[in-house]
Amino acid sequence: MSELPLAGLRRRLASLLYECILLLALWFVAGFAVVGLFSASPQGGGKLFLQGYLVLVAGLYFLHFWRRGGQTLAMKTWRLRLVDATGGPPASRRLMWRFAWALLGSLCLGAGFLWALFDRERQFLHDRLAGTRIVRADT
């Protein structure tokens, strides 16, 4: 196990809230590129395409920043860093699994995040499943 100090739950939740604001802004900008393809509000298959596209944009955002130093913009602000169990940078495959588990946990009414309330180390479920940890980057 890593000797790096784990980030507290409050700090991670504050970062998560900031991350949501940044992600909404990113989706707003990225959505302009796709919505212009539709003459009206997307319906049926167009709506599914738009939703899939926005999930892809989010995945690319997170994977890009997690690979480059283990920090998204919100994580830098709150001085957090994503590491594997040894304290090193997580492998790309581990990062993809983390994103997939986080997405699934979010779709289940945030159950993956609520897991932290019952976890012995207050870790999110997607971190437990992916073998990652969020540590303080200010030490």
pLDDT at 49: 87
Q: How much is the pTM?
A: 0.91
Q: Do the domain assignments include residue 4? A: no
CB burial class (10 A; 0-12, 13-18, 19+) of residue 136? middle
Q: Do the domain assignments include residue 13? A: yes
**pLDDT of 109 higher than 90:** yes
Q: Do the domain assignments include residue 29? A: yes
CA 36 from centroid of its chain's CA atoms: 27
Q: Do the domain assignments include residue 2? A: no
pLDDT at 39: 61
> What Cα–Cα distance (Å) separates residue 41 from each residue in 10, 32, 44, 59, 78?
38, 12, 10, 24, 37
pLDDT (mean) for 3-7: 89
Q: Do the domain assignments include residue 24? A: yes
Q: Give φ, ψ of 106 to 5 degrees.
A: -70, -40
Number of compact structural domains in the chain: 1
Q: Do the domain assignments include residue 3? A: no
pLDDT at 124: 97
Find out whether 59 and 34 touch, Cβ atoms under 8 Å: no
Range of the domain at 49: 9-136
Mean pLDDT is lowest, of 1-10, 59-68, 123-132, for 1-10
Percent of the chain past pLDDT 70, that is, above it, reads 94
Q: Do the domain assignments include residue 39? A: yes
**Residue-averaged pLDDT of the chain:** 93
pLDDT at 121: 94
Q: Do the domain assignments include residue 1? A: no
pLDDT (mean) for 9-26: 97
> What Cα–Cα distance (Å) separates residue 80 from each residue in 5, 6, 37, 89?
10, 9, 38, 13
